[in-house]
């Protein structure tokens, strides 16, 4: 009883489908089956009150229990298809049923002979058994005797400690994993104390405050009960009605993750958009009553002979269908909701116009207003540290308006040296004016190069090309490569650090989406040693490409330009292949690839035509 082990069965013993009488639309309901070695699946039934969601869940449990054909649901045409016999399942009658009893164990209850069929009582004893086994005071705890011997259970209550309601006993690292998960979720610490009748759970809330189980919030009770039951017994199928009751959205997300790890299939009913739209959910069905007309019956028939309620079930397979269905749950007279919707629409139109203008003009972007470093800058910093340079100078070529300088300065020190200086250069004179207004942080000096010749004979430990190469033409590419080689070649141990986002987050009129493999091939051909690191950012891939051990010499300008142009032509052919290979079914990722390919080809063709190539 203390901890139910999970045997080595395959994922064959799962529910497959539920066929319902008098149902249009999707029938039967199909339940996603988990794959071997993967997490479990979660199916949501949503819809208005009275549509039959709870009845469907009750019937599902009846069928899992193997009720015979005399039972009303089966006689009305319900049928459940399973790939094999489901080993175990659990459906609490209601949140409050288990919540009232899970956290308090009286001596009288401990002395009962409890059968596994008495679920709430059985689970209560199992939870307390798992917890007491983790208390140092109960060193000689015997799980087998706790399960079978009521007198032993009563004696173990006394083993916890003195009969003093003001003494708390707190669970540490030896407690079951669900204890630490619960502690983290509620930002407290679980313990136990004596009360006048037996034992009750205790929650420390910090600063000396604590709450016994009867004083916990309904959300804390619900969360604890579900965490404990699903981890200790690991039911193959877990069925729950409106599981989001009492819980705020963040706790709902954590709870769903817990269920996927501990249950093979979870079936829930919910109205909550946080669940309906959750990416962690595997299938969502919308259940609604079909409209019927006619007079009420004059004679009320026995339950078994009642006609089935006509339902319509829809599979919500995309966000648009989910939004359309969930909106039907609102009242059209919700003036505040509709007014807010209109406001959001107008604001979205304005934001869309601003975003489109900004994305297509490819202008310099300033640092984030947040005090925390952005994700891409963190990766730049980590890659710099992995080379352990000690630069006296950091050159930011294509500095824009100083984004890298400000972002990297949010975590000090960025590099091993305590004293270093920045040399900022940008091809745009307007950006150079903005760079001149930057205020250096303590221990840092800033210089702005107003012309390329100011970079001559500079020895830099770090040469940054941050999100700049995609906006340059072939000649400026050559200038950036030459300046980078010169700076790190003079230093001897310097590195060139190139960062790009691929695909681009948005199409830009002056941009070429630069894939990592293409950039790596170009710089290896030039003779640099390359080290790359990729990471996700905002739905795209970002990468840092570090160039070290520069070659002894670079090709002359004409030869270098020819090499860059040849690589550009190969990249254009690659974009053309991507464009042609997308096919007819376009998802968001395909649209992004198409835009990147189209703008990349157009930009390359425009640049090569301008250079007579």
- Please determine, for residue 437, whether its predicted confidence score (pLDDT) is greater than 60: yes
Read off the tokens for 257: 């993750």
Q: For residues 539 and 431, which has the higher predicted lDDT (pLDDT)? A: 431
What pLDDT score does 286 carry? 92
Q: Residue 269, Cβ neighbours under 10 Å: how many? A: 25
- How far is it, in rounded angstroms, from Cα 511 to Cα 596? 9
pLDDT in tens, 114-155: 877 777 788 888 888 999 888 888 878 888 898 889 899 898
Q: Which one of 230-244, 268-282, 563-577 scores highest in mean pLDDT?
A: 563-577
What pLDDT score does 12 carry? 47
- Please determine, for residue 298, whether its predicted confidence score (pLDDT) is greater than 70: no
* Ordered DSSP codes for 521-580: HHHHHHT-EEEEEEEEETTEEEEEEEEES--S----HHHHHHHHHHHHHHHHHHHHHHHH
pLDDT band at 318 (very low <50, low <70, confident <90, very high): confident
pLDDT in tens, 179-226: 998 988 888 999 999 988 889 999 998 777 889 998 888 888 888 988
- Please determine, for residue 592, whether its predicted confidence score (pLDDT) is greater than 80: no
What pLDDT score does 3 carry? 38
What pLDDT score does 529 carry? 95
Q: For residues 593 and 313, which has the higher predicted lDDT (pLDDT)? A: 313
Read off the tokens for 404: 């890298």
Segment 70-95 mean pLDDT: 63
- How far is it, in rounded angstroms, from Cα 193 to Cα 108? 17
pLDDT band at 349 (very low <50, low <70, confident <90, very high): low
- Please determine, for residue 43, whether its predicted confidence score (pLDDT) is greater than 50: yes
Q: Which residue, 318, 288, 317, is CA-closest to 30?
A: 317
Read off the tokens for 224: 């604890």
Report all structural domains of the chain as residue ranges with CATH numbers, in order of start: 15-88+237-327 (3.40.50), 95-217 (no CATH), 375-557 (3.40.50.150)
- Please determine, for residue 8, whether its predicted confidence score (pLDDT) is greater than 50: no
pTM over 0.75: no
- Please determine, for residue 41, whether its predicted confidence score (pLDDT) is greater than 70: yes
Nearest 5°: CA angle at 602, between 599 and 603? Answer: 85
Q: For residues 150 and 291, which has the higher predicted lDDT (pLDDT)? A: 150
H runs (alpha helix) in 165-246: 177-186, 218-233
pLDDT in tens, 474-514: 999 999 999 999 999 887 888 999 999 877 766 666 788 89
What pLDDT score does 7 carry? 41
On average, the pLDDT of the chain sits at: 81
- Please determine, for residue 249, whether its predicted confidence score (pLDDT) is greater than 50: yes
- The percentage of residues in the chain with a pLDDT greater than 90, rounded to a whole number, is 22
pLDDT band at 334 (very low <50, low <70, confident <90, very high): low
């Amino acid at each position: 009883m203390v901890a139910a082990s999970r045997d080595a069965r395959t994922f064959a013993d799962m529910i497959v489908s539920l066929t319902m009488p008098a149902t249009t639309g999707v029938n039967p309901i199909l339940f996603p089956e988990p794959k071997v070695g993967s997490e479990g699946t979660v199916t949501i039934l949503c819809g208005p009150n009275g549509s039959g969601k709870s009845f469907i869940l009750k019937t599902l449990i009846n069928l899992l229990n193997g009720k015979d054909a005399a039972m009303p649901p089966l006689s009305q045409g319900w049928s459940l298809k399973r790939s094999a016999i489901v080993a175990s399942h659990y459906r609490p009658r209601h949140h409050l049923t288990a919540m009232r009893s899970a956290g308090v164990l009286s001596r009288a209850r401990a002395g009962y002979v409890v059968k596994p069929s008495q679920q709430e009582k059985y689970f209560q004893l199992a939870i307390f058994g798992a917890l007491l086994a983790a208390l140092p005071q109960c060193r000689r705890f015997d799980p087998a005797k706790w399960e079978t011997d009521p007198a032993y259970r009563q004696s173990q209550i006394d083993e916890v400690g003195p009969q003093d309601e003001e003494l708390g006993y707190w669970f540490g690292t030896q407690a079951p994993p669900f204890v630490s998960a619960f502690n983290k979720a509620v930002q407290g610490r679980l313990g136990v104390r004596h009360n006048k009748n037996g034992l009750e759970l205790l929650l420390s809330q910090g600063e000396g405050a604590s709450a016994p189980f009867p004083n916990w919030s309904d959300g804390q009770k619900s969360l604890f009960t579900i965490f404990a039951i699903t981890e200790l017994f690991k039911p193959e199928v877990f069925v729950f009605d409106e599981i989001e009751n009492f819980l705020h959205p963040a706790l709902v997300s954590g709870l769903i993750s817990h269920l996927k790890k501990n249950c093979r299939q979870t079936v829930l009913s919910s109205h909550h958009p946080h669940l309906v739209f959750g990416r962690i959910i595997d299938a969502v069905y919308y259940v609604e009553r079909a409209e019927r007309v006619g007079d009420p019956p004059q004679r009320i028939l026995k339950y078994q002979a009642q006609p089935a309620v006509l339902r319509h079930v829809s599979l919500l397979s995309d966000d648009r269908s989910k939004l359309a269905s969930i909106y039907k749950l609102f009242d059209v007279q919700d003036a505040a909701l509709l007014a807010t919707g209109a406001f959001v629409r107008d604001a979205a139109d304005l934001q869309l116009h601003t975003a489109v203008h900004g994305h297509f003009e490819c202008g310099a972007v300033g640092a984030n207003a947040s005090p925390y470093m952005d994700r891409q800058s963190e990766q730049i910093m980590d890659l710099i540290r992995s080379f352990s340079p000690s630069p006296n100078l950091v050159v930011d070529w294509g500095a824009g308006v100083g984004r890298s300088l400000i972002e990297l300065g949010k975590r000090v020190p960025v590099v091993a040296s305590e004293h270093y200086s920045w040399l900022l250069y940008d091809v745009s004179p307007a950006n150079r004016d903005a760079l001149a207004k930057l205020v250096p942080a303590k221990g840092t000096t800033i210089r702005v190069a107003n012309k390329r010749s100011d970079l001559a004979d500079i020895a830099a430990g770090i040469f940054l090309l941050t999100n700049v190469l995609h906006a340059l033409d072939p000649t400026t590419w050559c200038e950036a490569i030459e300046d980078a080689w010169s700076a790190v070649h003079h230093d001897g141990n310097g590195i060139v650090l190139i960062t790009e986002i691929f695909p681009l987050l948005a199409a830009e009129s002056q941009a070429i989406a630069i894939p990592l493999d293409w950039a790596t091939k170009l710089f290896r051909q030039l003779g640099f040693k390359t080290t790359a690191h990729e990471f996700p950012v905002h739905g795209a891939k970002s990468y840092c490409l570090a160039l070290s051990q520069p070659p002894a010499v670079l090709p002359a300008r004409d030869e270098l330009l020819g090499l860059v142009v040849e690589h550009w032509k190969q990249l254009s052919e690659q974009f053309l292949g991507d464009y042609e290979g997308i096919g007819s079914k376009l998802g968001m990722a395909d649209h992004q690839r198409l835009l990147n390919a189209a703008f990349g080809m157009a930009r390359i063709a425009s640049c090569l035509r301008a250079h007579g190539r």
